[in-house]
Amino acid sequence: MKAVGIVVEYNPFHNGHALHIQESKKQTEADVVIAVMSGSFLQRGEPALVNKWARTDMALRGGVDLVIELPYRFATANAELFARGSISLLEAMQCDAFCFGSEDGKIAPFLDTYHLLQEKETEYKSALKTFLKEGKSYPAAASLAFRSLSSNERGLDLSQPNNILGKEYVHTALSNNYKIKPFTIKRVAAGYHETTLHDKAIASATGIRKAIIEQKQSMQTISNYVPHSTLAILETYITYYQSFHHWELYWPLLKYRILTSSAAELASIYEVEEGIEHRLLDIAKHSSTFQQFVTQVKTKRYTWTRIQRICTHILTHSLQAEMEASSFPSYLRLLGMTEKGQQYLQSVKKELPLPLISKISVYNDDDITPDLRATNVFAQGLTEPYQTELIKREFAAPIRLKV
């Protein structure tokens, strides 16, 4: 069986994701789709809208055959580490190819970019350092540094979020001499950060979340933009738990964590650098909401996303030393599969280079501790008995969907 891998968050699963699955299978002629999916907290440093089990269910009903969890230390990291964790897991799952959505839509510019940066690595790093010293954010500095090296023919727009991730996916695959082959499809309709809903059938996950959380619109508002299965799962979730997850739910816990920590304790947290711990302490004292807090902490150098990631690591007490302990994932955590996914798993099981975990209760390794802690914290956004229920769910079997 031929497998194509995709890297996803599904926050939530929408029509654009369904198209991505269809086109990935078409381009690579794959029989099976394997998704590496972030868990409780996501790459932009925010809690997922619904728990990973609900999102796994969306994925399986939306066309994915097998879902593997991207460990917390990679799921909440910068683009380079996020990509390294994701693509290495797809390689470990014996995928023949991986396919990502991008603003560019053609794989050649990504391959050219990789080779150009290999040729001019010293110049690139020097330019990057210069732009960072000027106070540019890392994404802006990286884009400017690359632009200073490339000609129009070889240039890739690295100011675009999906192109940035795509560049790192390709870099991980090629620099590690992986067997897995890169493919890309063009991202259509809504942009990654698009916050409004239009008449078209594809909207961004950001726009969908904004409609149902910030604007408190009815679930029917998003019915044109998500599959029926996603809508049903979201409606069941909000009815059962009485809330979706978002940062304001966790603000009291985050504020407590900041204000009961010393500057030195905060400085030991992953990504807390350059004295920003003092700024965090000072502004937390006078902030009544998460929105207000991040707005005041944010600077040209520290983007909203970077601040959110810092806040996530403070909330989950993720220490620098712990997060940097592993350069690559050390296990494969199975979240769910269809019957076809199970057949594929049986065919490659003996070739997997990493331990496959179907139940955490039988796996005893420190590498999984950050994920367990992340689930414990994520559950605090719910009331009892749902907190305890979600924490217990972490130790149960993966989802097996018959389709």
CA distance 371 to 382: 18
Q: Is residue 198 a known part of a binding site? A: no
Q: Is residue 20 a known part of a binding site? A: yes
Q: Is residue 19 a known part of a binding site? A: yes
Q: Is residue 187 a known part of a binding site? A: yes
Q: Is residue 12 a known part of a binding site? A: yes
Q: Is residue 177 a known part of a binding site? A: no
Q: Is residue 3 a known part of a binding site? A: no
Residue from 220, 196, 221, 199 nearest 210 by CA = 196
3-class SS at 213? helix
Tokens of 147: 């632009």
Q: Is residue 89 a known part of a binding site? A: no
Place of tokens 């998460």: 290
Q: Exposed/middle/buried for 400, CB within 10 Å: 0-12, 13-18, 19+?
A: middle
Q: Is residue 324 a known part of a binding site? A: no
Q: Is residue 101 a known part of a binding site? A: yes
Q: Is residue 313 a known part of a binding site? A: no
Helices (H) and strands (E) counted in the chain, each on its own, are 19, 8
CA distance 102 to 106: 8
CA distance 210 to 225: 13
Residues whose CB falls within 8 Å of the CB of residue 238, separated by 6 or more in sequence, listed in order: 219, 244
CA distance 120 to 39: 36
Sign of CA dihedral 360, 368, 172, 399: positive
Query: Annotated binding residues, as ranges?
Result: 7-20, 101, 162, 187
Query: Annotated binding residues for ATP, as ranges?
Result: 7-20, 101, 162, 187
